[in-house]
Structure 1
């Protein structure tokens, strides 16, 4: 539940002016805040070497159906909860969010020891695991699900560094062929 608190805390801090901006997916935006899309992060399947999909060079979202995708900590009502709810509905998948979230190490240990448990990670996420785990990252393609990151700030914030950051993060268009939830279009 701490992550949910951090989300609410970040929004409150932006509104109070104690921070200028935050990065997040934007499902809904209060009227006093504004946002700019900055990056679509492709998702990958992370699994152990004995997992049935481990040897593939890539996997389509539909091919994940029937496989256990374990993501403890996905909380309904959060931006990532909304993302995974729409992603799983779009491709007939299910995400198992059961169990206490004891951190990344426990998930990695479980995946390494299992022949049927996998998780999803961002392609740019730096995840270190012990050499003996022999985990595999399998790109998800056709289409590639992408997690939409945006910069969020308070309307009327004229801080020059915020303006410079926004200019630095401007992009002309999103990558072609990525799957995004309807609220991120």
Structure 2
């Protein structure tokens, strides 16, 4: 069962240009040239993206719903599972190839990046991470049912999780997050129903 967690209980890693909390909604505006990435292909190392992180139990599911206008290249928002500067996972919506995509980056020393088409008719997306004793499973929900995006070979050790947003080549991305939730893992964390 998933339960809402107040945004007031989180702590900022790299606070955004501006942010506010009203009820169950967190509104943020990104600062310039912010990102999370380690080495692969581009060679650079960035850990200056914005994330509001929360402590968690050892195994759990977390999800957040959000909306934004991702108009500039690489603008992104979603969930960040953060263990250290060299071990983390981010997942959400990212502007790539001139359109919104569902993107997951898994970093264990070096980053990798996987993408899937995002339905352009969806305004509000929900990203879910299920943290098990042997993997992190990433799902997205737009219209219809949950979609599996990734089963990552990643064992989280003392990681925190929460909403994240970045604008690597721009600034001023505005995102509204709502209903950040934590809960126990379902019997089958791979195939979950809407």
Question: Per the shorter chain, which TM-score range?
Answer: under 0.3
TM-score (norm 1): 0.26
Rg larger in structure: 1
TM-score (norm 2): 0.25
Q: Which has the higher contact order (CA 8 A, sep 6+)?
A: 1
Specify which structure has the higher proportion of helix. 1
